[in-house]
Amino acid sequence: MVPQILQDIAFYVGFITDLLVLIIILVILFTVVAIYRKVTQALNSAGRILENTEEIVNTVSENIVRPAAAGSGVAFGVGKIFAFLRGTKKQ
């Protein structure tokens, strides 16, 4: 036979232990939610940066690279015409 005081102590120790476990689980849950929000914000920001970079690359490609390539083709053609008119040939 266990004295009543020991049963009461065991009950309160078990109750406090259960309460602490629940509090720890809640703290872990809130921490995971906070980390999830931060990671989601970082990934969204990275996605926006990638979209902006893609737009910049497309703009540079359309406005600088293509005209430069067309200009180099024109320059090559003009060079060929001058070479023909001068009468020089590649050997």
The CA-atom distances, in angstroms, between 85 and each of 30, 43, 78, 82 are 80, 61, 10, 5
How confident is the prediction along the chain (91 residues), in pLDDT tens digits per residue?
A: 779 999 999 999 999 999 999 999 999 999 999 999 999 999 999 999 999 999 988 888 777 767 666 667 777 777 777 777 777 655 5
Asked whether the whole model's pTM tops 0.85, one would answer no
